[in-house]
Amino acid sequence: MTQVESARKGIITKEMEEVARSENASADRIRELIAEGKIVIPNNINRKARIVGIGKGLRTKVNASIGTSSDIVDLKAEVEKAKAAEDAGADTLMELSVGGDLDTIRKEVLRSTGLTVGSVPLYQAFKEAIEKYHDPNKLTEELLFDVLERQCADGISFMAVHCGINRLTIERLNRQGYRYGGLVSRGGSYMVGWMLKNNRENPLYENFDRVVSILKKYDCVLSLGNGLRAGAVHDSLDRAQVQELLINCELAEAGLEMGCQMMCEGPGHLPLDDIEANVKLQKRMSNDAPFYVLGPLTTDIAAGYDHISAAIGAAEAARYGADLICYVTPAEHLALPDRDDVVEGVRAARIAAHAGDMVKLGRKERDMAMSKARRDLKWEDQYRLGLFGERASEIRASRAPEEPATCTMCGSFCALENVGSYFKESLKNGGKS
């Protein structure tokens, strides 16, 4: 049985118990929300991985994406990036290779990490169509569904499948006069091209029940891909994107009814004043299905620092209810990320997720404890409480102060040290609580 089917029968699985422990929640409450489609646990029955819950009432999770390109195929580098993402604190990983032997790369990445791993099967399906027929538009349905089955069998735990692109979404795209930023989803653009060239409906939409049956067999989460996501802030919430979101929300409901764990994906590029509307629209239309967002990037002109632009958007998205944040690295729009880019991307996204959770979940205890540690100049406590304590310790040690209680930013002019003596009595009582 899938997690959904177990939950509906009143069964609390070991995965539900693990999520409850890690989130300090009731196992029965986790079960209820899984039954309602508001929480998912990506956990392919063919592979043991770190258990993570995604959805309502849970900590906002961070995904790191890796993978080869058609220009750079280096399996060792991808394995190193997978390990670096895990060490940096990513909660999930997506293997998105498009160059080299994709089956081998996927299996090696799965072996190299304890994280739950996702994929976008359209990449491999179109790559194999090009290799076999010398034309991506000659992709056959059987090849497409074979790739889904193959990736699930290998142990992929959540899969971004572009089911929401159909004739209606393409019609909306035509009627609005295309876009400022074009189509930026690799899988989405290939599927749109296939549909237009063959004058046919998207087989992933037309045979949605077949998609669900494959993923359900492995208890793989079906993440409804955002193939028409905005790739420019001016395209945010345009009719084509909203049309696809509407269809994906309908499909999320249908897939859940069939007993499959479901998740919806979102953009992309969004200006700050569109983020709340986008998240609330998805949550309302999908009955609170988990929402997985890329970034979102809040400006189009931050190349080289897009991880910062995305962290700004991710904090807002998490604040309003997004459940899984796909990181963006400094290499976004410029190059294939390397190991250092992956680490920076994960760290930026973790900060954003925490900032959002402070509001969404009201979790401020760690920040309050850090404030007191700073006030009292307790450096070891600060390193322990910080998201990146080791890095903080390295920076302070690299510019050691003359007065060991302070840092070289202020030295003997340390405001906390200078005034603290006047409030000793208050500090004895623990300060303001």
* Mean local confidence (pLDDT), 368-384: 95
Average pLDDT (74-91) is: 98
Is there a single domain that holds both residue 31 and residue 59? no
Is there a single domain that holds both residue 391 and residue 318? no
Residue 273 lies in a domain: yes
Q: Is the pLDDT of residue 236 over 60?
A: yes
Please indicate, yes or no, whether residues 303 and 383 belong to a single structural domain of this protein. Answer: no
Are both 102 and 221 inside the same structural domain? yes
Residue 433 domain-assigned? no
Same domain, residue pair 141 and 283: yes
- pLDDT at residue 433 tops 60: no
pLDDT band at 422 (very low <50, low <70, confident <90, very high): confident
Asked whether residue 15 is domain-assigned, the answer is yes
The answer to whether residue 203 is domain-embedded is yes
Alpha-carbon gap, residue 217 to 416, rounded angstroms: 59
Domain that holds residue 12: 1-36
Number of C-beta neighbours around residue 172 at 10 A:
17
Predicted TM-score (pTM) of this structure: 0.95
Same domain, 230 and 373: no
Please say if the pLDDT value at position 104 is more than 80: yes
Do 206 and 353 belong together in one domain? Answer: yes
Given a cut of 80, whether residue 130 has pLDDT beyond it is yes
For residue 224, give the CATH number of its domain: 3.20.20.540
Cα dihedral: 136, 141, 144, 146 (round 10): -140
Q: Could you give the angle at the alpha carbon of 110 between the alpha carbons of 106 and 111, nearest 5°? A: 120
Q: Which of 295-304, 338-347, 411-420 has the lowest mean pLDDT?
A: 411-420
Q: Is residue 414 part of a domain?
A: yes
pLDDT band at 2 (very low <50, low <70, confident <90, very high): very high
**By the 8 A CB rule, do 95 and 124 touch?**
no
Into how many domains does the chain fold?
3
As a whole number, mean pLDDT of residues 107-125 equals 98
Give the tokens for residue 427.
């500090």
Domain identity same for 26 and 115: no
Q: What is the pLDDT of residues 324-357, one digit of tens each?
A: 999 999 999 999 999 999 999 999 999 999 999 9
